Structure 1
Amino acid sequence: MGFFCTFTFNMIEKSKLLKIGSLAKPHGVTGEMLIRLLPEWHGYEPDPDFLFIDLQGGLVPFEVHAIRYRNDQDLLVILDTISTEEKARRVQSADVYIDPEELGQEPAHTEFSIHQLVGFEVTDKNMGALGPIRSVADIQNNPLIELFYKEREILVPIHSEFIVRIDMEKRQMDIDAPAGLIELYLE
């Protein structure tokens, strides 16, 4: 008598998962990857145990070793078995899915986006007029405004304790920069 063995495979169904974006590119050489979120998921902070990557039409689960938020639309992840830049490039552009319960809470909607500050005239309590905001660096937990003052690039954190007033109509922002911060850029 021969031994007969049967296996039952439970395929992961896409319909039970949520597509959150795609793998954009490797980030560094250790296998960390950038996930670009779909617009409808911007601002969410998913905390999944597993990500499901669409590889050749089938979903493959990868355990999440680390996840961090680069900004509202980008996540950086480290997954098991993907430990080099070369391995990360092999899955580049693949769609990424998660369990809908791991999406996290809907982001709070604010009256304006910090990116709307570009072009606002900035005045510091001690230094006076600094000029217009040239750009906003939306760094997770530390967004910065970029100014050019006296032909130097100045970066100032957008933090409630440094902002005195924002006038949306006049497109002006009054700040009280930390002592010595602006001078540091002028040396």
Structure 2
Amino acid sequence: MKKDNCFYLGKIVKKYSFKGEVLAKLDTDQPDIYENLDAIFLDFKNNLVPFFIEKSQLHKSDLLRIKFEDVDTEADADAIMKTNLFLPLEMLPKLEGNKFYFHEVIGFTITDKNFGNVGTLKAINDSTAQALFEIDRNGTEILIPMNDEFILEVNRTNKTIIVETPEGLIDLYLNN
């Protein structure tokens, strides 16, 4: 399984018992949908290795207590500590309306209600306080905040996102 075909689910953060159980911090708003997994991929030096799950249950809301097959001792648990967890993209719940996963909208055309065609969405920068659409307009980078009030429509069929940005925002990038 390649990382490109997977999504980041979380990270093993600590040991739970002397029998190899671990606690994983999940990066999701819906941890309960991942409570009964059969297997999960662990990232070892950029190689995804499948691990089969004997049992798992939610622990303190956003932690998942996991007992993997063949991880039976504290030493076994130490060997997988701080490992990132991944699942295949097909396992992501489908989103509808104006909700989307970042990976699914890359390549979409961004159109502003007042400005017109802005360009192609190249990436989403979520390392800032507010996530930003990074748009390519004929070699010029335009950044638009991913504000729910700005996003009018996400059209998966036509691969477009229609936004309404404050007047002059897009022009700031074009009038240099």
Larger Rg, first or second structure (1 or 2): 1
TM-score (norm 1): 0.45
- TM-score of the superposition, structure 2-length normalised? 0.47
